[in-house]
Structure 1
């Protein structure tokens, strides 16, 4: 445990290189699960929990971590299995997603593995639309191959936290609103929940949404359009892309687009649950136009309006 904790903060430099590191853990006797280390603040033994009356059934309670009250989500229960019994053998993975801090109650925390996004595969279509995975991968250690299931944490949180897509008063510019119907936005995100949040927000404005579930799929789609003679820089108002995705992450996608003269002028907004100055530095490095952290409907609309206003002024 101490070894895992000591290395978590040193593992973020791989983002932007189409690489990631996964924290492996168990919530059952055999199956191996993972989340991206970049989302992990720390891992601790499960402290004493305080009850939270009236909370979601998958909230096991509240933990006090150095003076901060953190809701603890029973991850096994939240992804459709029977809830994990709370015991002294449990661990708490403390994460930060979408500007909120929460803990995930898990069993054994194993170790960290270094991988490339090209090693990460979407879950099989046979898993259905209601599964709680964004991706899967295979891990070979000591000549033993194991399947690793990567949790769609955004879906888990969306079912526990009520995300409101309504806009604050005064956010929508009525003069710009009349120009929005029919405009196209390409959304790139491996989480179907995250795509739905963006889609439902922008569809209110009459914007047509095209979706891709990873960076490579989006790049191939754009290349297909350009091969057909379509100018994608005018076809789309913008691209809104996640940072972390199977096959190709959002940083690599942006770099590939900027390197192609037929699409280099595309307006790209990075929309990610990761936050902090590191992301802003990566935005500058790869050439994104905007960065916003999930999920903020007002900021999404503001970015769209800013882009549209620029186009209309030309």
Structure 2
């Protein structure tokens, strides 16, 4: 059984820990054995505990990967067969199976796996972003010993897809929670997207916000919200690219006019905490207001954001919290949040 404790690494070290486990896929082309275990991981910051398989009470649902609910110290927790959610229908649930109990975006869920292997300490600069949008349940991947890959799963996306199908709404992103931003149509998602055009002559310019998030769904949703609040946007898909361009921005360029940064925390190459630390240690940028937004909940993560130097730490796509943070950080003349 894997033991979960408080992270011991320093804030801004660009280090995180993940729980490693496998899911078994059959019929992998080119594999010598038709049953091929694939290595996966989940950020320890999302995990409350790992438990032995409890008694699961079946419930009515149209999502086949939902096995039912179980009681965890008086709380009903949905039990999700993770292998089945990934499309590996052949992996059985047995008495030796374990449950990874997660908490993020103020929701708890239990993901049933064959077993956990170890906790691995990882540097975000070793994590590569998915090479294609086809890997929509993966937030990153990295090469480990013996030339194996470990894939970091997007548990939020998996849970939201299941909830969307259970309610008949489809995988609608962040529509499951009241007050959460709901994304609309998609737009380009390169390393950086240019800001909107400046205000016409005679009108004050809109505040320019830099949004950094590796998730296309989350980035699209928050950018649509901010544009609806009369804010101009520059988008980046990871902290490393945003940092390099910010420090090298020439006077008069769009990036030199950024008034506030809204950044995700979990990102390949450079995480949000490390991005904040670098900005706070840079003479030119150190006074830049920064809002971190994340699905990681709890006082531990808020404390880590404060240690890094963030001005605010808000729930992922929580409109109320984001508006309050914007009002505190932007000039009083801005009234777009009203």
TM-score scaled by length of structure 1: 0.82
Match for residue 55 of structure 2?
48
| 2:260–2:330 Cα contact (<8 Å) kept | no
Q: Does 1:211 align with 2:218?
A: no
Structure whose residues are more often helix by fraction: 1
| Distance in 2 between residues matched to 1:78 and 1:201, nearest whole Å | 30
Q: Does 1:133 align with 2:138?
A: yes
Give the 3 Å change call, closer, same or farther, for CA 145–198 of structure 1 in structure 2: same
| Distance in 2 between residues matched to 1:95 and 1:15, nearest whole Å | 22
Q: Does 1:185 align with 2:209?
A: yes
CA RMSD of aligned residues (A): 2.7
Match for residue 16 of structure 1?
12
Residues 49-68 of structure 1, C-alpha deviations (whole Å, 9 max, x = no match): 11221353432211112221
Consecutive unaligned residues of structure 1, counting only runs of 5 or more, are 169-178
Aligned length: 292
Runs of 4+ in 1 over 6 A off after TM superposition: none
Match for residue 161 of structure 2?
159
| 1:189–1:245 Cα contact (<8 Å) kept | yes
Match for residue 195 of structure 2?
none
Consecutive unaligned residues of structure 2, counting only runs of 5 or more, are 25-35, 165-173, 181-202
Residues 22-42 of structure 1, C-alpha deviations (whole Å, 9 max, x = no match): 110011142100011121111
| Distance in 2 between residues matched to 1:181 and 1:87, nearest whole Å | 61
**Quick one: which of 255, 274, 282 aligns to 1:252?**
274
| 1:158–1:193 Cα contact (<8 Å) kept | no
**1:1-314 residue pairs with structure 2 within 5 A?**
1=1, 4-5=2-3, 8-11=4-7, 13-28=9-24, 29-54=36-61, 56-82=63-89, 84-124=91-131, 127-129=132-134, 131-140=136-145, 144-161=146-163, 163-164=174-175, 182-224=206-248, 226-227=249-250, 229-230=252-253, 232=255, 235-310=257-332, 312=334
Residues 47-104 of structure 1, C-alpha deviations (whole Å, 9 max, x = no match): 1211221353432211112221111222223334437433223211001111111111
Give the 3 Å change call, closer, same or farther, for CA 312–194 of structure 1 in structure 2: closer
| Distance in 2 between residues matched to 1:43 and 1:118, nearest whole Å | 27
Further displaced range: 180-189 or 265-274: 180-189
